[in-house]
Amino acid sequence: MGQASLRVHKDLWRYDLNLLTKGNPTTIYPELVDKDRYPIFHYIASSWDKFRTEFIKLNENCLASNILNNPLLVRSRQDGNRLDFSFFRQNPPLPGEIISQLKVKDFWTGGRMKNLAQINLDCGINFNLVTYIRIGTALNLYFNRQRQPRTSDGSSMSMELFC
């Protein structure tokens, strides 16, 4: 009986995780999980978010990271929220399963953002001009921050720090 009960709870978590992230659990972050309903799941999401943030900051890892719920991408200078599903609302609606799989590199090439037609063709999605401009704002804010000189003591972090 105990093993069957454990399996049911595991499957409910998996179902909720897939529902929240549209099939891409790597985009989970703590604000998506109800802390009262799933306290352990919430703490796992918090830990994952901290790890993912530090990993994305290393070298060129940002280019291979998801655009959805990316902790380093914010909507604008005035709006510090992440690019979540509400950010991508437009008419006609966009498929969440495709949005959850998009990477920064899908929008960026040769040090600049791809044009709207190229993104729509490459990604198999139909972003409208407003959504394209909003994504461009978020990416430009991130890459402009990266170009600014940083104070550094010459050391770098290793993945071993997180293991």
Q: Is the peptide bond before 149 cis (omega within 30 degrees of 0)?
A: no
Share of residues in the chain with pLDDT > 90 (%): 22
CA-based end-to-end distance of the chain? 34
**Distance in angstroms (rounded) separating the CA atoms of residues 59 and 110:** 16
Let me know: does 100 contact 21? Beta carbons within 8 Å. yes
**What is the pLDDT confidence band of residue 12, given thresholds at 50, 70 and 90?**
confident
Structure tokens at 13: 């978590």
Give residue 56's pLDDT.
75
Q: What are the pLDDT digits (tens) for 81-136? A: 999 888 888 877 788 888 888 999 899 887 788 999 999 999 888 999 999 999 99
The span from the CA of 140 to the CA of 121, in Å, is 21
What pLDDT, in 10s, does the model give residues 48-61?
Answer: 888 888 877 776 77
